[in-house]
Every structure is written in structure tokens, then in C-alpha cells.
Amino acid sequence: MSIRFVRLFGLSALLGGLVSARETGPSEPLPNPDAEVEAALGLMAAEANSAGDHDAADGFSGGALALRLGIRPTEIAVSVNGETARYWAVVAGIAHTLRGGPSVLKRSLIAWTAGDDRRPTAILQVSLLTDEASFAFPTDLLTAADPRGRARGTWVDLVQHLRFVAISGAAGIVVAETTDDPCDGALGELPGLRCVKATYDMHADGRFAALLTRDARTADETQIILIQTAAQGVNGIFVSPILSQP
């Protein structure tokens, strides 16, 4: 695959295609211990995409991709309405080209709780394009001309089938360290593409309102939950095109 192809096709679209190929391919045992989470994220990405919520779909796909590429989740604490629970988290940092031309690093945090059968019971997703950003809804990270400074947050209760989106507050996700350790699988070997394992520092503190339907463009502010989390050294991936080679 040429560098020019990566530029023209779009890195996010390319990686999304890899996720979709796994979702729609032949049935086979998933090879990692977080297979149930990966499968749930793939399904949630497909559902969000079909509802036109491309920001959420992209974030869920990023989490599934990180797990598929060998990232083992980091334990973090997440407070929902003052009740703190143990979540497991990964971060996908993927280069994204804005409509105006500049390239930025889109960072997506995916964190989840799980039952004894490893099936996720709640999932938190936070996505942004800068080190620090403010929550809003709708965010339009993938379609706005310049969405820098905006953050998208989604929290889903998979047991009670409830979905909330962040309407105010702030979040931050910064690269703590990138390594020379390539991503597992074929993506770590594609010419013109750098995919390495990394760690991220992150925080989020927001007011989340109920989203009554997946395709809604407004949230129900009569139903509010408060979510807070912060952690250092969260495992993840760092993916970007190699723009020049010796």
C-alpha cells in the first residue's frame, strides 16, 4: 500500500474498513481475552453508524481496533453520580485530516465494566482532537471544518439499555509515551503507516444527558448523570501515516 493511497483514502476510513472486515467476516474464535468487549464495540459502532452518529461509531471502532492490535487494557476508576467503579480502558490515537487540510491526532478513550463472563455492562467513550477540549453535543468531530477544542462523550448502560451524551464539562487526553513496539498483526507492518503501542494520560469531568434515540441531535436534559475519571499511563495505540521516508 502506497503512502499516496493512505493520504487519498483517508486513514480513519482505512482503519474503519479493517474493523468492518472483522465484523462481517466468517465466524471464528476471537483470539484475545477481551473478545467479548471487542465484539460489543464492533456492534455498537455499526449501530451508531447506521443511526448517523459517526462520532460515536468512530470512537467505538477505535477501541475495538486497539484491542485487536494487542493492547491490554489498563484498570482505571470511573465515578458515575458519585459511585466509583473499576473500569478497564484503552486509548486509540489515530491521525485525522481536517476538512481544511491540517492533520491532528484524534484520541478516543474507551473504558468499560464487565461481568464475570467478561461481557461489558457499561461503556464510556471520550473522543477529542486536542490535548484539552470541552464537551458538547452534537460535536461533529468528523464533519465540522475545524472541530478542535470540542470533545464528545458517550456513556452506555448495556444492562438497562440507557445511553447518555456529554453536554458540558471538559476532558483531556495527551500522549504520555510512544514506543518502538509495533502494533500486533498486519497493521503494524503496512508500508507508509506507523502503528506503535503507546500510553496516554487522561481525565474527564462532565454532565451527561439522556439520548432517547440513537439518531437524536438533542439530549434530554431532565435526565442527567455526572461522570468523572482520571488516570495516567493508559495503554493504547498511536497510528499515523509516514509522510516521508529516507
Q: Each residue of 68-83: pLDDT tens digit?
A: 998 999 999 999 999 9
pLDDT at 176: 97
**pLDDT one-digit tens code per residue, 13-25:** 445 544 443 433 3
Q: Which three cell numbers stand for residue 12?
A: 480513519
- What pLDDT shows up at residue 154? 95
> Looking at residue 99, what is its pLDDT?
75
Q: Rounded CA gap, 28 and 114, in Å?
A: 22
Q: Where are the domains of the chain?
A: 3-241
For residues 174 and 196, give the distance between their C-alpha atoms in angstroms, rounded to a whole number. Answer: 16
Q: What is the pLDDT at residue 188?
A: 61
Residue 88 pLDDT class (50, 70, 90 cuts): very high
Spatial CA neighbour of 55 closest among 193, 154, 148: 154
Segment among 73-77, 90-94, 122-126, 239-243 with least mean pLDDT: 239-243
Q: What is the pLDDT of residue 125?
A: 97
With a pLDDT cut of 90, the percent of the chain lying above it is 57
pLDDT for 206: 97
Average pLDDT over residues 117-135: 93
For the CA atoms of 78, 38, 12, 207, what is the dihedral angle to 10 degrees?
-20
241, 8 in Cβ contact below 8 A? no
Compare 131 and 115 and report the one with higher pLDDT: 131
Residue 101: band (very low, low, confident or very high) from pLDDT cuts 50, 70, 90: confident
Nearest-angstrom CA–CA distance, 110 and 116: 19
What number is the average pLDDT over the span 62-67? Answer: 93
Range of weakest confidence among 104-113, 139-148, 157-166: 139-148
Q: Which residues contact 22 (CB under 8 A, 6 or more apart)?
A: 42, 64, 68
Q: Which comes out higher in pLDDT, residue 237 or 138?
A: 237
The whole-number average pLDDT for the span 48-70 is 90
